[in-house]
């Protein structure tokens, strides 16, 4: 999904038609919402991660990667 979002942003920035990619993005979001609804209907009650959680995890991974590779130079 991130790839589709990036391609839509790229097309918009270059003032190109992004209709197909945007519709694909909407379809992916619809599918995710359906999967979440099915999960909840099946008894899923955990808190799902949101964008802020993903950004925090990415920052931790990046910082850890830098610390490991800093000694190699």
9, pLDDT greater than 70: yes
Share of the chain above pLDDT 90, in %: 45
Q: Which helix (H) or strand (E) holds 5?
A: helix 2-13
Question: For the residues 62-71, what does the mean pLDDT come to?
Answer: 59
Predicted pLDDT of residue 68: 56
Residues 6+ apart with CB under 8 A from 5: 25
What's this model's pTM, rounded to 2 decimal places? Answer: 0.58
Considering only CA atoms, which of 44, 4, 40, 41 is closest in space to residue 24?
4
């Amino acid at each position: 999904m991130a790839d589709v979002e990036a391609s839509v942003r790229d097309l918009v920035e270059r003032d190109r038609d992004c209709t197909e990619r945007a519709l694909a993005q909407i379809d992916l979001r619809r599918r995710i919402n359906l999967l979440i609804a099915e999960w909840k209907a099946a008894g899923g009650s955990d808190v799902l991660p949101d964008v802020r959680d993903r950004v925090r995890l990415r920052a931790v991974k990046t910082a850890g990667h830098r610390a490991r590779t800093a000694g190699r130079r």
